Amino acid sequence: MMENDSLNVLILAAGLGTRLRPLTNDVPKPLVPVVDASILDLQARKARAIGNIRLHANAHYLADQVVAAGKTLGFEKVWVELPDILGTAGPLKRIYNEGYRGGLLIMNGDAYCNFDLKAFVRNALALAAQPNGPQVALLAVDFPKVNTFRVGADGRLAGVVGRFGSEEGLPATFSGVSWYSDEALSRIRDGEFDIREFWKQEIAAGRAPFVDMTQLHATWIDMGSPEGLMSACMARMDELGCKFYNDTETNACAMRKCVIHAGVEMPSMAVIDHSILYPGAIVNQDEIIENEIRGKGFKWNVPPTPVY
């Protein structure tokens, strides 16, 4: 058994990345560059700001790459899921069963965000310490396209529209960030796949998860689609305070709000505007590229409409 006082952090990184094919044919979605770093790297940086943590990730698709990245980034362990993926509940119970203690913070490996994770964990721990306090906390955002959460007057999860529970209450969207006490983790059934089934069981037992609504309007972008990837890259450039990011040796072309990665050959007279060029992208002389993500064998037209 591994007893420790560190908070364990699990970044879910086992997805197949189907919405970003063929970009993700050769690289797993959590390692797709968002300007200067992968989402896995950026999420790890945010997690470390909490303080005393142990970093974990799970991996399935192109798992060897995630394992290698985890070693480079100083992860405690990357938990490979083969031959079958374990869903959203299985990875949590696996870490608990291996003896890790100290609570578990879950983050997504495909979300660009600026949450105050330290404040979220602090609030979750304070509530859990109260008599009959919630042992699970879920961080919510306001995303009207989804907003399937229904939150009761007591601040606890009342239901998920189309899945279970009440359809009355305050609407919100699950951000993918959550916290589980060791006690809660012990109650996840071995072989459980969908974490929503666990939430349903907790509600039925009178232990509904707490929904933290204090960061509803924080930046939260699902970068797992072309539109989301574009928005995440634009937001990252804003965060870095740069108008363009050029990782090539070419500086003669006109660049406006764009990302050009190493491995792209840039003609001197090309114009790149609000676009992302990944290795393998072909750019012609005098070409104007606008509102596009381009890479090896693909071009996606992505209008400049934010998705967050």
Answer yes or no: is 233 within a domain.
no
CATH number at residue 61: 3.90.550.10
Residue 104 predicted with pLDDT over 90: yes
Does any domain span residue 228?
A: no
172 and 91 part of one domain: yes
| 292/156 same-domain check | no
Q: What is the mean pLDDT of residues 29-35?
A: 96
Per-residue model confidence as pLDDT tens digits over 237-295:
999 999 899 988 776 577 889 999 998 988 888 899 999 999 999 999 889 999 999 99
In this structure, are 187 and 290 located in the same domain? no
Task: Give the model confidence (pLDDT) of 161-193 as tens digits.
Answer: 999 999 999 999 999 999 999 999 999 999 999
Q: Residue 57 belongs to what domain range?
A: 7-220
Whether 181 and 253 map to the same domain: the answer is no
The 3-class SS string of the chain reads CECCCCEEEEEECCCCCHHHCCHHHCCCHHHCEECCEEHHHHHHHHHHCCCCEEEEEEECCCHHHHHHHHHHCCCCEEEECCCCCCCCCHHHHHHHHCCECCCEEEEECCEEECCCHHHHHHHHHHHHCCCCCCCEEEEEECCCCCCCEEECCCCEEEEECCCEECCCCEEEEEEEEEEECHHHHHHCCCCCCCHHHHHHHHHHCCCCCEEECCCCCCCEEECCCHHHHHHHHHHHHHHHCCCCEECCCCCCCEEECCEECCCCCCCCCCEEEEEEECCCCCCCCCCEEEEEEEECCEEEECCCCCCC
- Which pLDDT score is estimated for 249? 74
